[in-house]
Structure 1
Amino acid sequence: MDFINLALLAVFIPTFFVVSITPGMCMTLSLSMGMSIGLKKTFYMMYGELLGVALVATSSVIGVATIMLKYPTIFLVLKYGGGAYLIYLGVQMWLSRGKMAINLDECNYNISKKSLAIQGFITAIANPKGWAFFIALLPPFIDDSLPMTSQLVVLIIMILLLEFLCLIIYASGGKTLRKLLQDSSNVRLVNKVAGTLMMIIGVWLASS
């Protein structure tokens, strides 16, 4: 294919899957709703969340393209800043602190389908992790010898597919995970594992 670097795409898919599957605002929301209202109704939240992710990704892509072409120095600063932010989130999750860490104290979402979709959309666009990920993640997987637009379109499509898959995984496993996570020590263990993965990705992005 002359519009996408397949080698970079092959690395991007598992990398973003790890990033997407890491507990955060949207995944914890999907997990909680899966526990309380079931998978079928949680799909409405997912539709809104994916629309929000598409908006955030597109906005980030426009900024990334502009920075890459006109302001390479600023791009490097943002990349290092993004990596540092991911490491910070990882440390917070390791300590079971902050909004990114799993917290299942509140999981009652007895609301309408429209409200579910709006909740998903707002959660996605207000999620600082999403903005940082897209700004920091996309540049290392763009081949400057190939057309920018086609690469970004493919990457955004893959992002939405992987995000949707992870949302389904969290919602589907909600009831089983609820039993597992009732023990606070298990909650801390999951946060430590997720935080470690987050820190590893942050170091890789900053050093790539």
Structure 2
Amino acid sequence: MIDLSLLVIFIPTFFFVSITPGMCMTLAMTMGMTIGVKRALWMMLGELVGVGLVAILAVIGVAAVIVTYPQVFTTFKFIGGAYLFYIGVQMWLSRGKMAIGENFESQQASSRTELIIQGFTTAIANPKGWAFFISLLPPFVNTNLPLTPQLVVLISLILTLEFSCLLIYATGGRTLRRFLEKSGNVRILNRVAGTLMMGVGVWLAVG
């Protein structure tokens, strides 16, 4: 079904790729800080769907279409980046659904759909994600074996590793929130989270 010898290299390689700080991990940390790990799971769901889709497209060659029509991908990046930047500004000003109120609770609850879309958009429009998958994933596919079973195993491992890293970052964000809560300064917490979110937006748009 799959060349087991390749998995010895595949697992640590993709764990390193996942654990390295990036847009998705920064987003997970920010949401862990503002809405908690439990609600951030909805963002992670969207992100994992996006990562899985990018991985599949990278293997079957659909990525070549994106290279042929870069303007479509660029437009999508700018829209997604602008949206995340706007959310970051709102958080920095202690406004909007993601901002934390004076009692350290979200003023309004972001819907599950909104969280899923944020995660999915960040994963799909991440140029570094495409670059990693296009360059790293195909070498781990054995052309002498059926493609579908290999994809199922490889993508399952990728999503498991990615989810584990997202949880690590989201938990780190929650820990940072608790540390800042001790000072009783909600504004600082919102500004830290807002700055991170704005950074993800800029990263997404110009990356």
TM (normalized to structure 1)? 0.61
Amino acid at match of 1:161: T
Task: List alignment gaps of at least 5 residues for structure 1.
Answer: 67-98, 100-105, 183-208
State how far apart, in whole Å, the 2-side matches of 1:57 and 1:144 are. Answer: 17
| Alignment check: 8 A CA contact 2:57 2:63 kept | no
Give the structure 1 partner of residue 2 of structure 2: 4
Over residues 32-71 of structure 1, what are the superposed CA-to-partner deviations in whole Å (9 max), with x where a residue is unaligned?
Answer: 10011110110010111111111111111111899xxxxx
Q: 1:126 to 1:65 in 2, by over 3 A?
A: closer
Amino acid at match of 2:47: E
State how far apart, in whole Å, the 2-side matches of 1:135 and 1:177 are. Answer: 34
Give the structure 2 partner of residue 168 of structure 1: 167
Give the structure 1 partner of residue 27 of structure 2: 29
Q: Which has the larger radius of gyration?
A: 2
Three-state SS of the structure 1 residue aligned to 2:143 is: coil
| Alignment check: 8 A CA contact 2:32 2:171 kept | yes
TM (normalized to structure 2)? 0.61
State how far apart, in whole Å, the 2-side matches of 1:22 and 1:11 are. Answer: 17
Task: List alignment gaps of at least 5 residues for structure 2.
Answer: 65-80, 82-87, 92-97, 100-109, 181-187, 189-207
Q: How many residues align?
A: 141
Three-state SS of the structure 2 residue aligned to 1:164 is: helix
Give the structure 2 partner of residue 117 of structure 1: 116
Over residues 11-49 of structure 1, what are the superposed CA-to-partner deviations in whole Å (9 max), with x where a residue is unaligned?
Answer: 101110010011111110001100111101100101111
State how far apart, in whole Å, the 1-side matches of 2:135 and 2:160 are. Answer: 19
Over residues 101-152 of structure 1, what are the superposed CA-to-partner deviations in whole Å (9 max), with x where a residue is unaligned?
Answer: xxxxx49425222111111111111011111111111122222332233222
Q: 1:15 to 1:64 in 2, by over 3 A?
A: farther
Over residues 59-100 of structure 1, what are the superposed CA-to-partner deviations in whole Å (9 max), with x where a residue is unaligned?
Answer: 11111899xxxxxxxxxxxxxxxxxxxxxxxxxxxxxxxx9x
Give the structure 2 partner of residue 203 of structure 1: none
Query: Aligned residues: percent identity?
Result: 65
